A and B are shown apart, each in its own frame.
Chain A
């Protein structure tokens, strides 16, 4: 092997030396491939590992934190929720349909690998500027791909978010989250054990797709990136469905010792992870591998990222039973190796030893970097701006903007009602899914506001956790735990690494105060094209529990005559707001900061109000501020509202700034609730007890949004502005 070979395999000079030291000799080409993927950023987390240790991962609700296929939390009644989020950014930019589809397939396998039946999918998507020439193609392809996979397997997609920003022009983000339910005593893990126990391959046959996918996902893009198309895997949701049913059927038997799906870096990564976690060795004979074609090399088989495959260690006496189950479902089953005591991975093909590498050299001893960091300077100033357009135009323009408008065009392509347990649809506070056979439900949300993270990575990360928590609280659910997907640019640049470290600190601080620990996650770096990085995008996926379905709340159940109360104080903060983005095309100022103690207290108040049935509907205030929150409630219920601001505000027409702040300020930890008039006093009393500001700002009325003395907009005008954006962009008649 010469220097060129190492470079081609993404290994620098120091890493080449480390490889030779770990192996004790020159590698074979297959070994070189194995090192290449195991030491890639994607598999080894070499730039992030050092910092991820700082996340808050503990709590009495946590059964399994980060490090397994997915996180596991206790949800009572002997049940566990198993969940995780993962990125599939690089492949989705190169081939949006397959990239996004296999992202969904991969995250579902992580969940059922642990013995849980998937019951809900979520996704967080970021595309470039809505007018960029590739945006329509990428949006259309990624959405079809997500639907194509999830719909076919038969798991409802219940929530998500879609954002547009020019920083994603060259790197879109596809983050998919899956949630499953398992019996608390029937969780399956990946640590292999039992010398000579059979190693079994199940699922789709191995082909040449996705070779070096993990390495591709560990580098920047340039103008030639589309040449990487062959490294994108091709999904087959039908096989996934069969594999899912076969695995869950086998899991009812006492047969599986360890199980691991083949995701990034395929067979290599799954075999090494199982052996590493169990402190054992593993021997694979590739002659027995189910193959799509005969002339695959050992190198290709070890690096293929063909989808819908699993590796298991079985109890020897259950081999026959397992084989019968997989045969019934029409899924390949093959014993391809055994567990050894060598603590090495040995790969044999056609009687030749193709690889024989100490496991620790690939896993625990993989490179780890503490890269230089530089903290971004926060500029708190807002450039003075003036506009002559009317309040009505401002409101309609905001509702008509890509980051606020209805995403119905997207979520109507996802099956949301399969499994017959979906209670609240996308467009509300969070997805709500009943737990089969109980009166409980999970409340699920994924959130991040990249324009905040770009201004101030620490506050932005706190805000992402807090918003997720707030969305879950708004449904009446007790927040339990989070997963995350940390999407950043090139970590070798100190400013990006600085953002990353601040993000970790922000997530940690928020999750400690809110008792909202991180139980699983994923890091996606090098989201850059021609040295232009995405905005820092730490997506937070959260899970909460509604203990009794009778006590849930939505954004669309207000009643004519209800009193509207603003919880948490008036808006003031316009830095990085949607208002300034849409009306002034301005990206300036600091991100709004989150006072975590207030967040916790305000949220506990809301949960108390919902539990006492004081409120008819609840919506948290986020992007666009108070008026957008109220408009969203009107749009989803087709019931209007009359809002009254203090008169002195309306009358001081010379300076609208104060009104803009109240209407569109994005101050955190706030909610809008509607309360029937006979419950107002009780509600105010509770607010006083919690020492939280509660302002009566108006009442629910039938047909329009009326802001006293300022503007009247009919429900229909609001709905038209909100709903028409994506259909007209995507040319729907």
Chain B
């Protein structure tokens, strides 16, 4: 499996994501600087989390205009797999590879906590190692993670089964289980052919029990198993 990581200035989860991939696959991904114009040969391209361009203007908005994004759009039309985590998800909605947008959390505050998620389907390359409707825990850390979209498109996403993860009830008191106000508790969505996934939680921070859980590892394991065959 050839994995490339696009590095934007201000990205800050690139090292964690690289290490997670190395941990699961034994191989570091290629790092591609945002000013490049062509992606190297890749089965999967990951846009890691962070504050690309300082989140100035709007989270992900400036990164979505980067030279490398043009090639990403072209290659995704040719069938390459794409994963956007947190700020990467924001960039994917800004450049149009995913629908909807991620607006400010309804608390208007940055929120960092462990959330409980339901894995809605396990028949995509990103989730094949989960059970269907498996409940997992992963950390989130964002200011703009409130998934918003017009009613018709939301209906369509639901009908087509394109919700990847939903925030679900947990036992935490004094804080709502949906941490940001996302419509239909959406934490992650696919595009229409399930080859592109964007999610707000950070699977790369959940690959080791000692640091709070290893449920995120299954996302990397799923991709590795699916794409290595």
For B9, list chain A residues within 8 Å (CB). 238, 241-242, 329-330
Q: What is the bound-complex CA distance between A533 and B202, given in angstroms?
A: 45
A238 touches B112 (CB 8 A): no
Q: A722: shortest Cβ distance to chain B, in Å?
A: 9
Q: Can you list 12 A-B pairs with a CB-CB distance of less than 8 A? A: A148-B110, A154-B13, A238-B51, A412-B113, A418-B12, A420-B20, A420-B208, A422-B212, A423-B211, A719-B173, A720-B173, A727-B175
Stretch at the interface among B53-61, B72-80, B220-228: B53-61
Q: What is the bound-complex CA distance between A314 and B167, given in angstroms?
A: 52
B112 touches A414 (CB 8 A): yes
Q: What is the bound-complex CA distance between A148 and B143, given in angstroms?
A: 9
Q: What is the bound-complex CA distance between A46 and B51, given in angstroms?
A: 41
- Contact for B12 among A154, A236, A330, A724, CB less than 8 A: A154
- Contact for A238 among B53, B175, B212, CB less than 8 A: B53
The interface size bin for chain A is 35 or more
Q: What is the bound-complex CA distance between A421 and B55, given in angstroms?
A: 24
For B10, list chain A residues within 8 Å (CB). 152, 238, 241-242
A151 part of interface (Cβ distance < 8 Å): yes
Q: Mark B1-36, 1 if CB is under 8 A from A, else 0.
A: 000000001101101100110000000000000000
- Contact for B110 among A151, A329, A420, CB less than 8 A: A151
B207 touches A732 (CB 8 A): no
Q: A414: shortest Cβ distance to chain B, in Å?
A: 6
Give B75-126 interface residues, CB cut-off 8 Å to A: 107, 109-113
Q: What is the bound-complex CA distance between A242 and B171, given in angstroms?
A: 40
Identify the A interface with B (CB < 8 A): 144, 147-148, 151-154, 236-239, 241-242, 329-330, 408, 411-423, 425, 434, 549, 638, 716, 719-720, 723-724, 727, 732
B205 touches A418 (CB 8 A): yes
- Apart from A242-B10, A413-B109, list 5 A-B contacts with CB within 8 A: A152-B10, A237-B51, A419-B15, A720-B173, A723-B173
Q: What is the bound-complex CA distance between A421 and B210, given in angstroms?
A: 9
- Contact for B107 among A152, A415, A732, CB less than 8 A: A732
B198 part of interface (Cβ distance < 8 Å): no
Q: What is the bound-complex CA distance between A685 and B211, given in angstroms?
A: 33
B145 part of interface (Cβ distance < 8 Å): no
For B174, list chain A residues within 8 Å (CB). 408, 720, 723-724, 727
B110 touches A549 (CB 8 A): no
Q: B117: shortest Cβ distance to chain A, in Å?
A: 15
For A413, list chain B residues within 8 Å (CB). 109-112
For B51, list chain A residues within 8 Å (CB). 151-152, 154, 237-238, 241
For A236, list chain B residues within 8 Å (CB). 54
Most buried by B among A242, A412, A723: A412
Most buried by B among A421, A719, A720: A421
Q: What is the bound-complex CA distance between A429 and B111, given in angstroms?
A: 22
The interface size bin for chain B is 35 or more
Q: A704: shortest Cβ distance to chain B, in Å?
A: 16
Q: What is the bound-complex CA distance between A656 and B118, given in angstroms?
A: 51
When A241-B10, A414-B112, A720-B173 are in contact, do A151 and B141 touch as well, CB less than 8 Å? yes
For A415, list chain B residues within 8 Å (CB). 110, 112, 141
Q: What is the bound-complex CA distance between A476 and B167, given in angstroms?
A: 35
B13 touches A418 (CB 8 A): yes
Q: What is the bound-complex CA distance between A214 and B187, given in angstroms?
A: 46
Q: Nearest CB to that of A155 among chain B residues?
A: B12
For B204, list chain A residues within 8 Å (CB). 420
Q: What is the bound-complex CA distance between A417 and B112, given in angstroms?
A: 8
A421 touches B211 (CB 8 A): yes
Q: Mark B139-174, 1 if CB is under 8 A from A, else 0.
A: 101010000000000000000000000000001011
Q: Nearest CB to that of A140 among chain B residues?
A: B109
For A727, list chain B residues within 8 Å (CB). 174-175
Q: Nearest CB to that of A436 among chain B residues?
A: B19
B20 touches A238 (CB 8 A): no
Give B162-219 interface residues, CB cut-off 8 Å to A: 171, 173-175, 202, 204-205, 207-208, 210-212
For A732, list chain B residues within 8 Å (CB). 107
Q: What is the bound-complex CA distance between A549 and B205, given in angstroms?
A: 18
B207 touches A420 (CB 8 A): yes
For A412, list chain B residues within 8 Å (CB). 109, 111-113, 175
Q: B47: shortest Cβ distance to chain A, in Å?
A: 15
A434 touches B110 (CB 8 A): no
For B205, list chain A residues within 8 Å (CB). 417-418, 420
B19 touches A420 (CB 8 A): yes
For A152, list chain B residues within 8 Å (CB). 10, 12, 51, 54-55
For A239, list chain B residues within 8 Å (CB). 54
Q: What is the bound-complex CA distance between A485 and B55, given in angstroms?
A: 32
